[in-house]
Structure 1
Amino acid sequence: MPLSAPAPREHIHTRRVTCRGFRRADGLWDIEGHITDVKTYPFENDFRGPIEPGDPIHDMWIRLTVDDRFEVKAVEAVTDKSPYGVCPAITPNFQRLVGLRIRSGWTQKVKELLGGVEGCTHLVELLGPVATTAFQTIFPVLARERARGGSVDGDSPSAPAARKRPPLLLDTCHAFRSDGEVTRKQWPEYYTGND
């Protein structure tokens, strides 16, 4: 069901976040995020001069290359457009993500490594949807391969009950809470609720 009809209003700003997931020929995964911020009116920017409607004030990209266990193997961050000339200089700091695993605690760790003056607010924010896109890309493929009898390393919602580690998704949101119905059905050995 869509949102209700709005009150009379004027369109001012559009932020677009696009994330895409790819399986690479070498068995790794590329998860890419792109963010743009666009105004509907012209304005002056001290660094870039006049910015016309539709010309992004922010145009930024990030690519995480991860393995089946969601460990970041490589990072590329690019700032094509920004309101200040110094903005692109921070992108090398995103290499700090290499070796980190996308799992519970990801957002907190990203903020520790790249929060405040150590990163770019917009690229750091983009890492949230990128992480979600990694799960949406990788888990279904690995689960399908496991169901076909393939040998796949890492955790997935359909991993066997003899797992030694909790599932990566456990307690990451309301649906996957340890005392919830989804956990009771998918991972009964980690269910903490009352029957």
Structure 2
Amino acid sequence: MPLSTPAARQLLHNRVVQCWGYQREDGLWDIEGRMIDTKTYAFPNEDRGGQIQPGEPLHDMWIRLTVDPQFRIHDIEACTDSSPFSLCPTITRRYRLLIGERIGPGWSLKLRELFAGLNGCTHMTELLGPVATTMFQTVYGKRYDEDEAKAAEDRAPPPVLNTCHALASDSPVVKTRWPQAYTGSEGESPLKSPQLLDDCIT
């Protein structure tokens, strides 16, 4: 259901983050992300002709990761189309340091190690978060959809087992979809009712 009716208010800032996941013909995957920040009012900016207008992007940034099925990064492209300072785009080439890295445990730590503070762009680094989760949704999602065609007993337990409430090994979701990985018993907790879980994942 939607959020409750808010108090009287005025919109000042809008951030849009979009991500796309592509399966390539060569067996690799392209995951792209874009972040756009706009204001509803004009404000001064010396690097952009003196003023940024309402609706004109303050930030407009793109990033593309090319990964293999094991989530190893083969290539990366980053670009900044709009930024508050003319110096901002010069940092994008540093993100090629991610080539050869694997997205998985320790990903956030690796981003801080490479791009924290003066060594990166706050917004570009932030964009890598949803890009990484989009990669999992794309690659695991494709595998999951293909697995759904198999009988439940033949499905391999998902790599994301025990990473969230719905995918706990003792949840009814796991009991139904991956019975060989199920660790629960009869008499489920009402907090793990199938109806509640269906509401959460649809």
The normalised TM-score by structure 1 is 0.80
Q: Distance in 1 between matches of 2:129 and 2:99?
A: 16
Q: CA 1:34–1:94 in structure 2 vs 1: closer, same or farther (change >3 Å)? A: same
Question: Is 1:101 aligned to 2:91, yes or no?
Answer: no
**Are the counterparts in 2 of residues 104 and 172 from structure 1 also a CA contact under 8 Å?**
no
Q: 1:176 to 1:42 in 2, by over 3 A?
A: same
Q: Note if 1:21 corresponds to 2:21.
A: yes
User: Higher helix share goes to which structure?
Assistant: 2
Structure 1 residue 2: Cα displacement: 0.7
- Kept in 1: contact 2:170–2:185 (CA 8 A): no
Query: Post-superposition shift, 1:107?
Result: 1.6
In the alignment, which of 167, 170, 181 is matched to residue 171 of structure 2? 181
Q: CA deviation at 1:116?
A: 1.4
What are the superposed Cα offsets for residues 88-107 of structure 1, whole Å, 9 maximum, x if unpaired? Answer: 11111111111122212212
Is residue 133 of structure 2 the alignment partner of residue 132 of structure 1? yes
Is the partner of 1:7 in helix, strand or coil?
coil
Alpha-carbon distance between aligned partners in 2 of 1:70 and 1:77, rounded to the nearest angstrom: 18
The structure with more radius of gyration: 2
Closer/same/farther in 2, CA of residues 190 and 108 from structure 1, 3 Å limit: farther
Following the alignment from structure 2 to structure 1, what is the Cα–Cα distance between the partners of residues 161 and 101? 18
- 1:110 deviation in Å? 1.4
| Percent identical | 51
- The residue that corresponds to 1:83 in the other structure is 84
CA distance in structure 2 between the aligned counterparts of 1:172 and 1:96, rounded to whole angstroms? 28
Change over 3 Å in CA distance of 1:86–1:16 after alignment to 2: same
Sort the Cα spacing of 1:120 and 1:170 in 2 relative to 1 into closer, same or farther, 3 A: farther
1:66-81 equivalences under 5 Å are: 66-81=67-82
Aligned-CA RMSD value = 2.7
Runs of 4+ in 1 over 6 A off after TM superposition: none
State the TM-score, normalized to the length of structure 2. 0.77
CA distance in structure 2 between the partners assigned to 1:72 and 1:47 by the alignment:
34
Whole-Å Cα distance in 1 between the matches of residues 94 and 172 of structure 2? 37
